Structure 1
């Protein structure tokens, strides 16, 4: 999986750029996690619960995106998918993120944990 973290030169905000297959993970990290250490801890606890088989599936719904943990994979999707809304208004679709072509991003549980830890380290600096 290819990804890169950068600081936006204009705003100074942390940006997460992912390959096409995982493109939803970037804005999810930026919007839902950001520098929120409590959210980061909750996500790492969710991964631990799944790995220890305390739960089979956990969904964390944020303000714009949701993440679902299963035993093998993690799925990130915009909440519009969960609400059954098929088409987003033109004004909300950016050129960099084509929601219609990639409505859900998935990766392995271990890879996702590494992304979270890398993001935490990047945003801490």
Structure 2
């Protein structure tokens, strides 16, 4: 997983990821409250000892954390097929690429801790 953290004077902090994990970058930059990153890290460390999952539903992205991995899904994936079918006559279709990203904790947790340090060092 390749990523880069950027300080943008106009939009604040941004995370840019490779295409396969771009949704994670959007989630970090747009959905995750900067004040709750440390709390999330603690919750995820505790999750590894449990059989439950943690679901965070944002404005555009749902993050599901299981004891094994982090799954990010765009809300657009959950539209009913009838909703999408109405655009078929206009030759429009839902492009599902980039609408889901999966990451194991061996990559995700170090990255999340780096993000926490990056946004803390304002």
| TM norm structure 2 | 0.76
Question: What is the Cα deviation at residue 120 of structure 1?
Answer: 1.1
In 2: Cα distance, 1:65 partner to 1:42 partner: 19
- Report the number of matched residues: 110
SS across alignment from 2:99: coil
Which one has a larger percent helix, Structure 1 or Structure 2?
Answer: 2
Quick one: structure 1 residues 51 and 100, their matched pair in 2 at CA, closer, same or farther if it must change by over 3 Å? Answer: same
Indicate if the aligned counterparts of 1:69 and 1:109 stay in contact, CA closer than 8 A: no
Runs of 4+ in 1 over 6 A off after TM superposition: none
Task: Give structure 1 stretches of 5+ with no counterpart.
Answer: 88-98
SS across alignment from 2:98: coil
Quick one: structure 1 residues 70 and 84, their matched pair in 2 at CA, closer, same or farther if it must change by over 3 Å? Answer: farther
| TM norm structure 1 | 0.74
Which of the two has higher C-alpha Rg?
Answer: 2
RMSD, matched Cα: 2.2
In 2: Cα distance, 1:78 partner to 1:46 partner: 22
Which residue of 1 is the match for residue 90 of structure 2? none
1:5 equivalent to 2:26? Answer no
Task: Give structure 2 stretches of 5+ with no counterpart.
Answer: 85-94
